[in-house]
A = this chain, B = another copy of it.
Amino acid sequence: MSGDQADVSARATWSALVEPGDVVAGTLVGLLGAVDALDWVRAAHRHGPDLARVEDRFGALADADRRRVAKALARWAVRLPECDPGRDLERLDRLRGTLLVPGDPRWPSALDDLGTAAPFCVWVRGEPDLGAALTLSAAVVGSRAATSYGERVAFDLADGLTADGLCVVSGGAYGIDAAAHRGAVARGGRTLVVLAGGVDRAYPAGNARLLDAVVGAGGALLSEVPPGSLPTRSRFLQRNRLIAAAGRATVVVEAAWRSGAMSTAHHAARLLRPVGAVPGPVTSMASAGCHRLLREGVAVCVTDAAEVRELAGVIGSGVVAVADAASSADERAARRRDVLDPVSQRVLDALARRVPTDLDRVASLAGVTVAEARGAVGLLELDGWAARRGDGWVVLRTDEP
């Protein structure tokens, strides 16, 4: 086995041996490397832990750390005999999947930001070049118990984001997650499903066809545990940290007061990733978590794909320009009357549509001098706002809202 092959096999083993987010394992692999750390664990299993080998290289361990290592070794010992990376990799082969490890050019380096809680490897079904896919990405997450409003917004956001080349990251659950993946694949966009169980286990089963469609559209399913692994509750919670790390920004579309999506948002905030929250009716409990994130300053308010894109640090594209143009058009329309100076506005207010008003009266009503009134009606006439009728003046248009 080459060094690379040994590393791949060791990392596959680690991903089966320990639960996701086990920082004792992460620290050990970080110190010794995946292969040596695994050898060390196996030796410890047979002869007792050789802490000297760790301490020789990295200094004396505190007593608490010694106890943590001892406890971890006992924990890992239970599963060690069951681990069989060859079997797991064969299962992955049958799915035409790919095992990515750090150092592979396709490795999503965004996950390295998790430090000692980073995954040892990721098991991928579908497009294997996650490094490229996640260069432009945003996580779109939310409640399983979503409303039709939330699902519509998640779908539209994902549609807009993928149309603009971003990969939409989510968790494959019912509700907001599924709507986001659907919005991405609807027009052939790329999306990444981060699963809590193995990539061969469509969970929930009702989304099996959607997950196939994700792969068919050039997206991918990702898990940090081997094929065949069950999606347990603690794996769901740990999975959220991967979603947060995989997106350059995380957007919560709908979330109850406490929920998995809220935990993803907080993971993203801890990783210093920007967090967005989509507002909704205050009468909808499904939006309560989003409003909480806004109130607590964890998230900024986002209302469309262009704003999410901006949050993810993707700027200067055509989409942003189009959005700007649209709001400018809005503003231009609203401002039309505001281009008038204050005197002209007040003079315009003083004119009626039908009955002409003479200049003295205009001046008095507007609270301006007669000379100012005369000047103002002249300019207003030029621009088509007002017209002379006999000895007085009438208003032609006001553009009032």
Contacts and interface: CB of A to CB of B under 8 A. Distances in A.
Interface of A: 18-19, 22, 71, 74-79, 82, 144-145, 149, 152-153, 230, 232-234, 256-259, 278-283, 287-288, 290-291, 294-295, 300-304, 307, 327, 330-331, 334-335, 342, 345-346, 348-350, 360, 363-365, 367-372, 398, 400-401
Nearest to A78: B363
A234 B291 contact: no
B294 A279 contact: yes
Given A234-B346, A288-B303, 12 more contacts: A75-B372, A77-B369, A78-B367, A149-B281, A233-B345, A259-B401, A278-B282, A279-B279, A279-B280, A280-B281, A282-B303, A291-B303
A339 to B, nearest CB: 13
Contacts of A363: 78
Contacts of A342: 234
A71 B280 CA distance: 50
Contact of A364 (B79, B234, B290, B294): B79
B19 A346 contact: yes
Contacts of A370: 78
Contact of A350 (B232, B330, B331): B232
A190 to B, nearest CB: 24
A181 to B, nearest CB: 20
Contacts of A76: 367
Contacts of A78: 360, 363-364, 367-370
Copy number in the complex reads 2
B283 A279 contact: no
Contacts of A334: 256-258
B282 A304 contact: yes
Contacts of A302: 295
Contact of A301 (B79, B232, B256, B295): B295
Contacts of A372: 75
A367 B149 contact: no
Nearest to A287: B279
7 contacts: A75-B367, A144-B401, A234-B342, A234-B345, A280-B281, A282-B304, A288-B303
A365 to B, nearest CB: 7
A287 B79 CA distance: 55
Question: Which interface residue of A79, A281, A371 has the most chain B CB atoms within 10 A?
Answer: A281
A257 B152 contact: no
Nearest to A76: B367
Contact of A82 (B79, B282, B364): B364
B287 A295 contact: no
A398 to B, nearest CB: 8
Question: Which interface residue of A234, A300, A348 has the most chain B CB atoms within 10 A?
Answer: A234
Nearest to A230: B365
Contacts of A257: 327, 330-331, 334
Question: Which interface residue of A232, A345, A365, A372 has the most chain B CB atoms within 10 A?
Answer: A232
A283 B149 contact: yes
A301 B279 contact: yes
A153 B304 CA distance: 23
Contacts of A287: 279
Question: Which interface residue of A295, A307, A400 has the most chain B CB atoms within 10 A?
Answer: A295
Contacts of A294: 279, 294, 300-301
Question: Which interface residue of A77, A301, A349 has the most chain B CB atoms within 10 A?
Answer: A301
A258 B335 contact: yes
Contacts of A71: 369
The 7 closest A-B pairs by CB, nearest first: A279-B279, A294-B301, A282-B303, A232-B349, A258-B334, A19-B367, A74-B369
